[in-house]
């Protein structure tokens, strides 16, 4: 079996058209070639740039607490890449060829959480879109646009139960509910907000070590493991955060994929559909890192990836008991660009 056949097997049905298949083959070939050429290259122009993310909300989504959780039990034996996770290596080769130069790092994501209505008859989903533009200039401002999308039934089945309930537009919870607070929750979305803040150093903190320069982020799996210097679970959580949220070089992102491919405790799920309905390949591992604070019980983190483009699609937290989706962050777009559309339109 050649590499192209392996990639084709990972792609969702229906079968690819000849033109799409040919374009994908050419892109994958270029990605592998570019990966070999670029390995070891560092983005020198970033050597003096602090990794910046401003705002408490952004920091909460990305910064890893300096106090590491209790060490997870080590998994004995030789760590090898499971066959089902080989798509991560395809993703690594693809992402390594992505451009990583520009005046701005932009990301648009949809974040959400799911919870049952007070009577437990159906599941509701609350979501919002957040657009973030981080400047390459360490003296610049980081810009945000937050667009609340309101609350609605999570699935068609939930919508049917909601209609049978009289199609309510608000729900009242008491303090013992899974919402974690008492009060009325309303369906209508809030107002869109656009704002900017002064940058402060973005840090990935593991074992008390802050990163303040792009050049300090390794571009090999072994380098990342050495940097993180943590137990298996914390290493995987940190690699996931770096992969999805940090404005690192393409080589560092590819290294995170390779690290996840050989990480113990990470299992392949296969082809799935993420919270936005996009098809991708997924891995899962048991972790409470991204779980809602008031959820009782164990949770599993699911990472959904598009292996052909190399783009991370979503981080999902699911109940380990029944697989119910609890929270998610779905990346709609992330890229380096020369212009910041929020700044221009402010």
Report whether pLDDT(28) > 50. no
Contact 114, 286 (CB under 8 A): no
Share of the chain above pLDDT 70, in %: 68
pLDDT of residue 296: 82
Q: How far apart are CA 256 and CA 294, in angstroms?
A: 30
- The residue ranking higher by pLDDT, 53 or 14, is 14
**Top-ranked range on mean pLDDT: pick from 32-41, 50-59, 62-71, 228-237:** 228-237
Angle between helices 232-245 and 250-262 (to 10 degrees): 150
Report whether pLDDT(61) > 50. no
For the chain, the structural domain boundaries read 3-75+84-345
Q: How far apart are CA 281 and CA 259, in angstroms?
A: 16
Mean pLDDT value across the chain: 76
Give the pLDDT confidence of 216-231 residue by residue, as tens digits.
Answer: 789 999 999 998 888 9
Give Cα separations from 116 to 127, 233, 297 (angstroms).
15, 29, 16
Question: What would the two tokens of residue 37 be?
Answer: 């050429």
Question: What would the two tokens of residue 161 be?
Answer: 């139960």
Give the pLDDT confidence of 62-84 residue by residue, as tens digits.
Answer: 333 333 333 333 322 223 344 68
The structure tokens 């374009």 sit at 23
Question: What would the two tokens of residue 206 be?
Answer: 């593991």
Q: Which one-letter DSSP state was computed for residue 111?
A: E
* pTM > 0.75: yes or no: no
Q: How far apart are CA 285 and CA 304, in angstroms?
A: 12
Among 247, 252, 265, residue whose Cα is nearest residue 222: 252
Report whether pLDDT(250) > 50. yes
| pLDDT range class, residue 53, cuts 50, 70, 90 | very low
Report whether pLDDT(46) > 70. no
């Amino acid at each position: 079996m050649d590499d192209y056949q392996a990639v084709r097997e990972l792609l969702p049905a229906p079968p690819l058209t000849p033109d799409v298949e040919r374009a994908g083959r050419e892109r994958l070939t270029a990605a592998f070639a570019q990966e070999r050429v670029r390995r070891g290259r560092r983005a020198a122009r970033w050597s003096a740039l602090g990794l910046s993310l401003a705002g408490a909300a952004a920091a909460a989504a990305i910064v890893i607490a300096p106090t590491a959780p209790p060490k997870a039990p080590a998994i004995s034996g030789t760590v090898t890449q499971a066959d089902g996770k080989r798509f991560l290596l395809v993703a690594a080769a693809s992402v390594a060829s992505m451009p990583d130069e520009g005046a701005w790092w932009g990301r648009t994501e949809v974040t959400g959480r799911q919870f049952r209505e007070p009577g437990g008859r159906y599941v509701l989903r609350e979501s919002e879109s957040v657009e973030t533009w981080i400047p390459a200039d360490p003296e610049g401002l980081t810009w945000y646009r937050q667009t609340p999308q309101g609350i609605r039934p999570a699935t068609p089945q939930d919508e049917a139960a909601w209609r049978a309930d009289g199609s309510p537009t608000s729900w009242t919870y008491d303090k013992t509910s899974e919402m974690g607070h008492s009060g009325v929750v309303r369906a209508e979305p809030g107002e869109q907000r656009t704002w900017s803040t002064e940058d402060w150093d973005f840090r990935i903190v593991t074992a008390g070590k802050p990163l303040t320069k792009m050049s300090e982020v390794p571009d090999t799996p072994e380098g990342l493991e050495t940097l993180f210097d943590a137990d298996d679970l914390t290493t995987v959580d940190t690699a996931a955060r770096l992969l999805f949220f940090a404005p690192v070089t393409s080589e560092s992102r590819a290294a995170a994929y390779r690290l996840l491919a050989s990480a113990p405790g990470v299992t392949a799920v296969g082809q799935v559909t993420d919270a936005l309905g996009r098809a991708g390949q997924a891995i899962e591992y048991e972790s409470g890192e991204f779980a809602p604070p008031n959820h009782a019980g164990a949770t599993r983190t699911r990472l959904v990836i598009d292996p052909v483009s190399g783009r991370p699609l979503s981080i999902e937290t699911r109940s380990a008991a029944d697989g119910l989706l609890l929270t998610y962050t779905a990346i709609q777009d992330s890229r380096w660009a020369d212009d910041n559309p929020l700044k221009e339109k402010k």
